[in-house]
Structure 1
Amino acid sequence: MALRILVVDDSAVVRQSMLMLLEHVPGMVVEVASDPFIAQQKMKSHRPDVILLDLEMPRMDGLTFLRQLMREDEPVPVVVCSGLAGPGSETAVRALEEGAVEIITKPTLGVGDFLRESRSRLVEALRSAARSRPRLARRAAPVPVEVVVPERPERPAPSLLTVTTDKVVAVGASTGGTEALRQLLEPMPPDCPGLVIVQHMPEQFTSAFAKRLNELCRIEVKEAASGDRVQQGRALIAPGNRHLWVQRSGGHYRVELLDSERVSGHKPSVDVLFHSVARAAGANAVGVLLTGMGDDGADGLLTMKLAGAATIAQDEATCVVFGMPRAAIERGAAEDVLPLGAISSAVLRRARK
């Protein structure tokens, strides 16, 4: 069955670019609309499977249209198409909070380069969105803090060096992860262990995302920079288009940003982060794999488990897309499979052991 895509953008250049980009993709049917009012009329006759939505339009802005869509009983999944810089990136992050499942960067004057470089990522984003449940994670009721988590198996006594080093929590997420990360980080107390996070997101959007989380959370949240220390009460988020690598520095940990090839199809890659944490922290780490399409992070989470770390995967019921956690569970990488609302308290308990 064909996947119906509705592109809503007031730019004729962008609409034409998307048609050129998608018209030859097998199994996709693409329609365009120059604003939300025209889109609403088209949706009456043909309901799309995914909407590719601009945010800045004259008659009705995309954020308002998105809110209308999310009020429906079965909302159409929305992928935001936004510019990279300034207020546009901040508005795109707000759109993710409102229920959009993904962000892609808008074509600029170099449309040819966009077509060559971004087609596979755009197609993956649209197919991922079509499989998503855009409201489920936001509706899921939090699990009480006193939820019982199974005890970890007994392990050999760690060395003195391991005992005296700090704890580190490594987290990976993709589609639907912006809302999942908010729910994970908001309950964290100021003395929580240091967190390192990879969220699949285009370059420059991660800065606005980190800034937004920093406004909402009791802990410090910032876009990671090379040399940043992993410390209590701080979460470091990998910048778009850079891998995040954790290394030991005496009894502590610091991060480095790597500009190397994509791993598991992504940059930043969850696998790169998890493998580095397994190597640097071993049993002093907790690994968490949240909602997302594909399998990035599954192998890395298994490596963390084999190194003695506690490992957690988000359960299917609370995932927007049950791809990455499923892959980890199938590999035997997750010690615990928990609903999103239970993960924060489980991380704190694991880190304190």
Structure 2
Amino acid sequence: MTGTTTGPCPGKPIRVLIIDDFPTDRARLARMLQNEGDITSLGQVATGPAAITLVARERPDVIVLGLTTSDGSGQNLIEQVMAHTPTPILVLSTQIENRQSPSAVDALVAGALDVLPVPVRWTPDLEAGLRHTVRQLSRVQTIRHPRGVRARPAGAAPAPSGRNRQTVVALAASTGGPKALATVLAGLGGLVAPVLVVQHLHPDFTGGLYDWMTRVSALPVEIAVHDQVARPGRVYLAPGGLHLRLAAGLRLELASTPATIHQPSANELFHSVAQNAGPAGIGVILTGMGDDGAEGLLEIHRANGQTLGQDEETSAVFGMPRAAYRLGAVSALLPIDLVAAAILRCAARGTA
């Protein structure tokens, strides 16, 4: 299930909740944010259950979260907030050099909307940039991320998860896709999961795609065969002109129906992964024209799987990732060279 929140009403101050473990940092952030009068601090609190409770009670327009530890507590807080009270979250951290840092990727995958490094010294320009980012985030609609729903208090019945299922990765791309797929597959060394790939391509060019992916992929690549069992650590390409689906028992299904604009169809693949992998599904939508895959990726998201998309800057055509993002189907938009690392993290943590 997805949910949305709306930004502040025009003319009203942007209500910000500051969450940071250090009182001096919280006070400094409050002063910087309120400097021009259009942003107001609802309060300041340390990370932990009290912060989650305060978010639910105050319903801020934006959360500014200081990540000061590497124990995963910050990511857990992001997941809990986004699961129960979806709110735009800006992460500030001394562990982040830029948006490509591992801690930044983890925060984005958990549900944060943006990340910024904490400078050695806050200059007037940096303070103005912080306020500008908060203003931008206050206008963004947020979606409910189901990952935090899986956490349960001690003694509670365990929630269904993907840990008892085989993780399955589904990749889909169209225009500009072969190059993007080459980048992702080259970075998946050590992945213990089958990888199912849909690339919009004329059947005559399937062989060429297979040859290219075989050369660059860190995992063995083969063209999918109907009714074969998908094995962990292998890549299966959909043949041109046929839909590729995941069936029960990790079996692969090839079909010429339904008749769609694109055969293979990203939606057909993603829908099947949502149905048969559930929370163990990792769906990734890459560069491409149109909106194929958006609805199917949303189904993976609703099934508590993980969903990633290629960002606009590195996409040849941002159509497919944009359509999925606008539906609320994408947990994080990432540069193409960070997608493989994000997939590996999702699979390794058992959060897929």
TM class, shorter-length: 0.5 to 0.7
Tell me how far apart the structure 1 counterparts of residues 206 and 287 of structure 2 sit (CA, whole Å): 17
Q: Deviation of residue 187 (structure 1)?
A: 1.3
Write the letter of the residue equivalent to 1:330: R
* Residue in structure 2 matched with residue 53 of structure 1 by the alignment: none
Match of residue 106, structure 2, among 137, 140, 149: 149
* Residue in structure 2 matched with residue 295 of structure 1 by the alignment: 291
Tell me how far apart the structure 1 counterparts of residues 192 and 242 of structure 2 sit (CA, whole Å): 25
Give aligned-pair identity as a percent: 37
Structure 1 runs not aligned, ≥5 long: 1-141
Shift in CA distance, 147/183, structure 1 to aligned 2, threshold 3 Å: farther
Secondary structure at the counterpart of residue 196 of structure 1: strand
Secondary structure at the counterpart of residue 290 of structure 2: coil
Write the letter of the residue equivalent to 1:303: E
Tell me how far apart the structure 2 counterparts of residues 176 and 145 of structure 1 sit (CA, whole Å): 26
1:312 lines up with 2:308 in the alignment: yes
Tell me how far apart the structure 1 counterparts of residues 197 and 272 of structure 2 sit (CA, whole Å): 12
Q: Deviation of residue 212 (structure 1)?
A: 2.1
* Residue in structure 2 matched with residue 123 of structure 1 by the alignment: none
* Residue in structure 1 matched with residue 173 of structure 2 by the alignment: 173
1:156-305 counterparts in 2 under 5 A?
156=150, 157-159=158-160, 162-249=162-249, 253-263=250-260, 265-305=261-301
Tell me how far apart the structure 2 counterparts of residues 309 and 231 of structure 1 sit (CA, whole Å): 19
Q: Deviation of residue 144 (structure 1)?
A: 5.8
Shift in CA distance, 144/182, structure 1 to aligned 2, threshold 3 Å: farther
Q: Deviations over 1:83-128 (max 9, x none)?
A: xxxxxxxxxxxxxxxxxxxxxxxxxxxxxxxxxxxxxxxxxxxxxx
* Residue in structure 2 matched with residue 114 of structure 1 by the alignment: none
Q: Deviations over 1:12-37 (max 9, x none)?
A: xxxxxxxxxxxxxxxxxxxxxxxxxx
Q: Deviation of residue 276 (structure 1)?
A: 0.4
Write the letter of the residue equivalent to 2:321: P
Shift in CA distance, 305/208, structure 1 to aligned 2, threshold 3 Å: same
Q: Is the 8 A contact 2:293 2:324 kept in 1?
A: yes
Secondary structure at the counterpart of residue 283 of structure 2: strand
Tell me how far apart the structure 1 counterparts of residues 266 and 218 of structure 2 sit (CA, whole Å): 25
RMSD after superposition? 1.9
Write the letter of the residue equivalent to 1:305: H
Q: TM-score, normalised by structure 1?
A: 0.56
* Residue in structure 1 matched with residue 119 of structure 2 by the alignment: none
Q: Is the 8 A contact 1:244 1:268 kept in 2?
A: yes
* Residue in structure 1 matched with residue 88 of structure 2 by the alignment: none
Which stretch of the first structure deviates more once superposed, 295-304 or 231-240? 231-240
Structure 2 runs not aligned, ≥5 long: 1-98, 112-146, 151-157
Tell me how far apart the structure 2 counterparts of residues 158 and 172 of structure 1 sit (CA, whole Å): 29
Structure 1 moving runs of 4+ over 4 Å: 142-147
Q: Deviation of residue 147 (structure 1)?
A: 4.8
Secondary structure at the counterpart of residue 279 of structure 1: helix
Write the letter of the residue equivalent to 2:148: E
Tell me how far apart the structure 2 counterparts of residues 181 and 290 of structure 1 sit (CA, whole Å): 8
Secondary structure at the counterpart of residue 218 of structure 1: coil
Tell me how far apart the structure 2 counterparts of residues 183 and 192 of structure 1 sit (CA, whole Å): 18
Q: Deviation of residue 254 (structure 1)?
A: 1.5
Q: Deviation of residue 228 (structure 1)?
A: 2.5
Tell me how far apart the structure 1 counterparts of residues 102 and 173 of structure 2 sit (CA, whole Å): 22
1:15-94 counterparts in 2 under 5 A?
none
Tell me how far apart the structure 1 counterparts of residues 102 and 238 of structure 2 sit (CA, whole Å): 28
Q: TM-score, normalised by structure 2?
A: 0.56
Which stretch of the first structure deviates more once superposed, 228-237 or 297-306? 228-237
Q: Deviations over 1:126-152 (max 9, x none)?
A: xxxxxxxxxxxxxxxx95666532226
What is the total number of aligned residue pairs between the two structures? 207
Secondary structure at the counterpart of residue 299 of structure 2: helix
Shift in CA distance, 329/202, structure 1 to aligned 2, threshold 3 Å: same
Shift in CA distance, 281/209, structure 1 to aligned 2, threshold 3 Å: same
Q: Is the 8 A contact 1:144 1:342 kept in 2?
A: no
Q: Is the 8 A contact 1:261 1:267 kept in 2?
A: no
Q: Is the 8 A contact 1:190 1:232 kept in 2?
A: no
Q: Deviation of residue 209 (structure 1)?
A: 1.0
Secondary structure at the counterpart of residue 252 of structure 2: strand
Q: Is the 8 A contact 2:172 2:286 kept in 1?
A: yes
Tell me how far apart the structure 2 counterparts of residues 275 and 290 of structure 1 sit (CA, whole Å): 16
Q: Deviation of residue 208 (structure 1)?
A: 2.5
Secondary structure at the counterpart of residue 291 of structure 1: coil
Q: Is the 8 A contact 2:191 2:344 kept in 1?
A: no
Q: Is the 8 A contact 1:199 1:238 kept in 2?
A: yes
Q: Deviation of residue 223 (structure 1)?
A: 1.1
Q: Deviation of residue 164 (structure 1)?
A: 2.3
Q: Is the 8 A contact 1:180 1:291 kept in 2?
A: yes
Q: Deviations over 1:209-230 (max 9, x none)?
A: 1222112222111111112322
